[in-house]
Amino acid sequence: MPETPTNILPADGATLAQAGTLIDHHLRSLWAHPECARAIPPMMLWGPPGVGKSSLIRDLCSRHDIGFVDIRLSQREPIDLRGLPVPRGDEVHWLLSAEWPRDPDSRGIILFDELTAADRSLQVAAYELILDRRLGDLYQVPDGWYICAAGNRATDRAVALSLSSALANRFCHLDLVPDHAAWKRWAVAHGVHPDVIAFLDFRPESFFDMGGDVERGWPSPRTWERVSTAVQLADEVGLDAASLRLQITGLVGRGAATEFLAFRSWADDIPDVAAMMRGEARIRIPGRADQRYALCAAMVHYLWQGSADDRERLIMGFFDISEQLPSDFAAMAMVDALTGPDDATTKVRTDCLMRHARFERWTQRHGEAFVAHQVAA
């Protein structure tokens, strides 16, 4: 994990993977014991901007195929939570927002995002919903819905007001820290550009850095994902190098952008990886470490990009190249190649590689490094 100023990130923080495991546990407990809905604490995720707090919740909802409601209290008025008063004769009735889940059999997560950007009046308005899962006699949160919140701290140099002690006492609190290894698994599985993955393997200290001017672009998981999109679109649609440099600098700052673009220029000098994997070019292993990182990332990228008819030839090429790599690089490439966006895809990829006739010979050369890399990952 990259070094980060100690006044920004706590030493005992949780990774995104750990937070996801705990929230997943709370979800399953809630669904198994709906009568305990009020006893299972809502989760408050603390962390710097761009670390992936909101994305974690969205990914959990997508994985479980459940509902997701995103509430930004800083953009609301207290009446938005309680509802709109409507006079009927000598009585007042309340019209609740349509965004609150109504189906008693539904499941999902309600996220109060950027909670620390909301003033005290809005925090007070959220008390009852977060603690009692209800709005008086008007509304009850269905038992299948879990409540989470996310926010920044004052030390994160973001918009952050103090959280009242009464509201804070309602949550289970987790401080999130940037986790390059976990992000890389996600990035490989979700098609992040191989140049970005390779660069951050080569320069992990550039993964997250709030040490510079945070009023401009700075490196974070969020901005590197956007760099990936920028590079992909530049390659597809066509964008001149000067404009791409400006865009990447605007996302991650001048220092990280300069290093990344220099890395790309060296990566462009490696042999045609796709051609080597298809047996159309002689295998050449570069001597520079940065180029070897680029080679490994490209191998993983091309391995799963080809058609089903081309798959066996690509797998053979993957083994041909990786058998000639130093064991640490070969093991890294294999672990990355086994990573899929979901359990089913990971199983398919594992079957394709680890049950392949060439895998036994590969393990004779790289098996020890492979086991060590799996443990580290």
Q: What is the DSSP string of 122-148?
A: HHHHHHHHHHHSEETTTEE--TTEEEE
Which sign does the torsion angle of CA 325, 331, 332, 337 carry?
positive
Instruction: Examine the fold and report which residue of 175, 209, 235 is the final residue of a domain before the chain moves on.
Output: 175
Whether residues 160 and 283 share a domain: the answer is no
b/e sequence 5-30, b meaning 16+ C-beta within 10 Å? eeebbeeebbbbeebbeebeebbeeb
Per the structure, the count of domains in the chain is 2
Are 137 and 275 members of one domain?
no
CA 278 to chain centre: 32
CATH code, 124: 3.40.50.300
Q: In this structure, are 164 and 38 located in the same domain? A: yes
Same domain, 22 and 171: yes
> What distance in Å separates the CA atoms of residue 294 and residue 302, rounded to the nearest whole number?
12
Query: Does 150 lie in the same domain as 42?
Result: yes
Residue range(s) defining the domain that contains residue 347: 269-377
Q: Is 83 domain-assigned?
A: yes
* Residue 246 resides in a domain: no
pTM, rounded to two decimals: 0.80
Q: Which of 142, 175, 208 is the last residue of a domain?
A: 175
First to last CA, the chain: 11
Q: Give the residues across from 43 on adjacent strands.
A: 148, 172
The strand pair at 84-88 and 91-95 is best described as antiparallel
Statement to judge: residues 289 and 147 lie in one domain: no
Residue 204 lies in a domain: no
Query: Does the residue 168 lie in any domain?
Result: yes
The domain boundary residue, chosen from 148, 175, 202: 175
Q: How many CA atoms lie within 13 A of 285 on its CB side?
A: 13
User: Token digits for 377?
Assistant: 């990952």
Tokens in use for 347? Answer: 């199983």
Same domain, 168 and 314: no
Give residue 78's identity as a one-letter amino acid code: P
C-alpha 159/C-alpha 215 separation (Å) is 12
Residue 138 lies in a domain: yes
Distance from C-alpha of 296 to C-alpha of 273, rounded to nearest angstrom? 9
Asked whether residue 151 is assigned to any structural domain, the reply reads: yes
Asked, for residue 52, whether it belongs to a domain, the answer is yes
Please report whether residue 203 resides in a domain.
no
> Residue-wise pLDDT tens for the chain (377 aa)?
333 333 334 446 888 889 999 999 999 999 999 999 989 999 999 988 888 899 899 999 999 999 999 988 877 777 777 777 777 777 777 777 778 899 999 999 999 988 888 777 777 778 888 888 988 778 899 999 999 999 887 666 655 667 778 888 889 999 998 889 889 988 998 889 999 999 999 999 999 988 877 788 899 999 999 999 999 999 888 899 999 999 999 999 999 999 999 999 998 888 899 999 999 999 999 999 999 999 999 999 999 887 778 899 999 999 999 999 999 999 999 999 999 888 888 999 999 999 999 999 999 999 999 999 887 66
Percent helix / strand / coil, the chain, rounded to 5: 55, 10, 35
pLDDT tens across 199-254, in order?
999 999 999 988 877 788 899 999 999 999 999 999 888 899 999 999 999 999 99
Show the tokens assigned to 162.
């103090």
